Amino acid sequence: MSLTGKTALVTGGSRGIGRAICHRVSALGAHVYINYVSNPAAAEETKKMIQDAGGRADIICFNVADGEQVQEALKQIVTEAGSLDVLVNNAGITRDGLLARMKESDWDLVIDTNLKGAFLCAKAASRSMMKNKWGRIVNITSVIGFSGNAGQINYAAAKAGLVGLTKSMAREFASRNITVNGVAPGYIVTDMTSSLSEEIQEKIKREIPLAALGTPEDVAGAVAYLLGHDARYVTGQVLHVNGGMYM
Ligand SMILES: NC(=O)c1ccc[n+]([C@@H]2O[C@H](COP(=O)([O-])OP(=O)(O)OC[C@H]3O[C@@H](n4cnc5c(N)ncnc54)[C@H](OP(=O)(O)O)[C@@H]3O)[C@@H](O)[C@H]2O)c1
Q: What is the pTM of this model?
A: 0.98
pLDDT of residue 1: 79
pLDDT of residue 211: 95
Consecutive H or E run containing 88: strand 86-89
Task: Tell which residue, 159, 178, 162, has the closest CA to residue 120.
Answer: 162
pLDDT of residue 196: 86
For the chain, the maximum distance between any two Cα atoms, rounded to a whole number of angstroms, is 51
Q: Where in the chain are the domains?
A: 7-238
Q: How far, in Å, from the CA of 175 to the mean position of ligand 1?
A: 31
pLDDT of residue 245: 96
In this prediction, the residues of the chain whose per-residue pLDDT falls under 50 are none
| Best residue among 93, 115, 242 to mutate for probing ligand 1, ranked by most atoms within 8 Å of CB | 93
Query: In DSSP terms, which residues pair with 12 in a beta bridge?
Result: none
- Using an 8 Å Cβ cutoff, are 74 and 121 in contact? yes
pLDDT of residue 11: 99
Output the CA angle 42-45-47, nearest 5 degrees.
Answer: 110
pLDDT of residue 188: 97
| Catalytic status, residue 155 | yes
Any ligand 1 atom below 6 A from CB of 163: no
Specify the CATH number of the domain 7-238: 3.40.50.720
